[in-house]
Amino acid sequence: MSSLFASYLRVYEPLAAFDREWQRYWRRYVNEGRALAPMEGAARQRTAVLEALGAGWTRLPQLPDDAYVLEADDTLLICPWNLRVQVAEAALNARDGVPTVLADAFVPPLFAGLARAVLDDWRSGNRVLEHGVPRLHEQVATWTVPLRWFTFFEPAERALSLRRGTRALRYRTDLAKAQRRASSARAVLRRGVGAASITDAVEETGRWLEQFHPYSVLELDYGGLVHVLSDEALVADDSPGLLLSGLEAVARGDGEAAAVAYEQLADRWQAVQLRERSN
């Protein structure tokens, strides 16, 4: 959330995934025209979180319950922002692995206590799984797209706009398809490369997807990264295809071809990451 140049992996759940109170809320939210498009919403989220964290670290303010909304086949699909939970997690994460003196300087104990209370309240509410883990519907990566995210999509699921004001690139698929692809990728990686970091990363994201309603939709949005990539680069983007080629090579035991595909994909996104230093 700290950068405008971020990509997003989002899950949109059908109304049936929410309890009756939240179903009424989200219907009213949509009927009142309050939902924002991802291009507008990302900036709104960033502003809200930064303002919350900039309030002297003495309080965790109430933040609005907003969401991205999809309408497909007469079905409403909701991707809640959960801003208050995001602020609480950001505050506690800022203390992780930092000496106490520094942690208290960045996130005072009072604020940390409030953040823990918010997370405890969230985990005890109706929007949690049986094992107590909250459903956070959006993952964010700054100045890159994590390679594991491409596991869930195919090139044909891409939507691209190069028009000024609507410049965007996204991939979108049914959650069930994404989960099947993740399962297949995990099996290939376990057999081919074993306990490698990419295997662990795919497994971790696959577990995250298991939290959601089976009729959900998964979306990979390049977000602000489209503004640091040329038209030519966006048109030619075949990142999911490159990852699939690498997995197919691993499956047939062709290590050389797998390495070539992986290096092409890694080099492409490392080049994007390097642009952060020039900004």
Distances (CA, A) of 267 to 134, 228, 255, 260, 272: 34, 16, 18, 10, 9
Residues 114 and 63 in one domain: yes
Residues 64 and 163 in one domain: no
Distances (CA, A) of 47 to 21, 28, 44, 58: 28, 24, 5, 18
Residues 182 and 85 in one domain: no
Residues 72 and 194 in one domain: no
Q: Of 59, 91, 123, which residue constitutes the final position of a domain?
A: 123
Domain total of the chain: 2
- Domain-embedded: residue 1: no
Q: Of 65, 88, 123, which residue constitutes the final position of a domain?
A: 123
- Domain-embedded: residue 260: yes
- Domain-embedded: residue 131: no
Residues 196 and 88 in one domain: no
Residues 264 and 149 in one domain: yes
Residue range of the domain that includes 208: 144-274
Residues 10 and 114 in one domain: yes
- Residue type for 84, please? R
- Domain-embedded: residue 132: no
| pLDDT tens for each residue of the chain, 279 residues long | 445 888 999 999 999 999 899 999 999 999 999 988 887 888 787 777 667 666 555 666 677 789 999 988 888 999 998 887 777 777 777 777 778 877 777 777 877 787 788 778 776 654 444 333 457 899 989 899 999 999 999 999 999 999 988 899 999 999 999 999 999 999 999 998 877 788 899 999 999 999 899 999 999 999 999 999 999 999 999 999 999 999 999 999 999 999 999 999 999 999 998 887 665
